[in-house]
Amino acid sequence: MSGGWVCSALLRVLQRFMSETAARWVLRGAVESLRLSLDTATAADLPRILEALEPATRQFVDPSVRPRMMTQLRAQLATAAGPERAATSSSVELRGTTYLVRKEADASHARLAARMLCESLGGRGYECQKVATAVSELARNQISHAGGGTIQLVPQLAPKRLLRVSAEDSGQGIPDLERVLSGTYKRKTGLGLLGVKRLADRFDVRTGPKGTQVDFEVWL
């Protein structure tokens, strides 16, 4: 398999834990299930590829060593900064990945991708849990109140290592934003927007009759 550098790096890791034939078969199946190409997959595709690889490798790798394998696979997200930065030397950020959120499965997908990306950037358990919880809350809010939206994940390595999340929808906006953020608005379920704000190191929200955009960062 000639492949691009992204898939070649993943293949090298997989071959440490299974035969070369199995590694190639598993990787090809995972990549093509996402309608991606082995030759053109980029660093921005890594969270989705890693998520697809997690179940695909179960029948080939002993459960006792799978956590170590997944850790090494996720580490490729951090090392991906090198080739990306060589192509855009003036940038300090990796290219962001945007997830379309329409149903519960999409929210779970975005949450898992955010957690995996945070871990691969070196985030600690609590930091990664904050990111996953916030993304899950925002995605479910989009589904419940705006018919869906998008979640964008943007990792940054310098000057500060962080994960930036932007959640955007085209709903009717939040009518009582000041009340929501003050804590006087009582929710029946979930953390709410105020909960997301408390999890973030930087937080901003813009809302109106044409939609809402929430941006937050968790510093790693």
Q: Which of 65, 87, 109 is the last residue of a domain?
A: 87
Q: What is the distance between the alpha carbons of residues 169 and 15, in angstroms, rounded to a whole number? A: 41
Which amino acid, 217?
E
Flag whether pLDDT at 2 surpasses 70.
no
Burial class (CB in 10 A: 0-12, 13-18, 19+), 201: middle
Q: Same domain for 37 and 127?
A: no
Q: Is residue 61 a part of any domain in this protein?
A: yes
Which CATH number is 157's domain given?
Answer: 3.30.565.10
**Is residue 118 located within the same domain as residue 147?**
yes
pLDDT tens digits, residue range 106-120?
898 888 888 888 877
Which of 26-35, 72-81, 180-189 reaches the highest mean pLDDT? 26-35
Are 154 and 99 in contact, with CB atoms under 8 Å apart?
A: no
More confident residue, 183 or 6: 6
**pLDDT in the model for residue 133:** 94
**One domain, residues 193 and 211:** yes
Q: Taking a C-beta distance cutoff of 8 angstroms, is the pair 132, 196 a contact? A: no
Domain of 69, in residue numbers: 5-87
Q: How confident is the model at residue 197, as a pLDDT?
A: 93
Q: 19 CB contacts (<8 Å, ≥6 apart)?
A: none
**Same-domain status, 215 and 138:** yes
pLDDT at residue 92 above 80? Answer: no
Domain end residue (candidates: 87, 110, 130): 87
pLDDT over 70 percentage in the chain: 87
pLDDT at residue 198, rounded to an integer: 93
pLDDT at 54 over 80: yes
- If asked whether residues 82 and 105 sit together in one domain, one would say no
* Domains of the chain: total: 2
Q: Are residues 208 and 106 in the same domain?
A: yes
Tell me the mean pLDDT in the region 65-70: 86
pLDDT at 93 over 50: no
Residues 72 and 107 in one domain: no
In terms of domains, do 122 and 211 share one?
Answer: yes
- Identify whether residues 103 and 75 lie together within a single domain: no
Q: Are residues 115 and 199 in the same domain?
A: yes
Task: Output the pLDDT for position 1.
Answer: 43
pLDDT (average), residues 15-44: 89
Asked if residue 139 and residue 47 are part of one domain, the reply reads no
Q: pLDDT tens digits, residue range 136-168?
A: 999 999 999 999 999 999 988 878 889 999 999
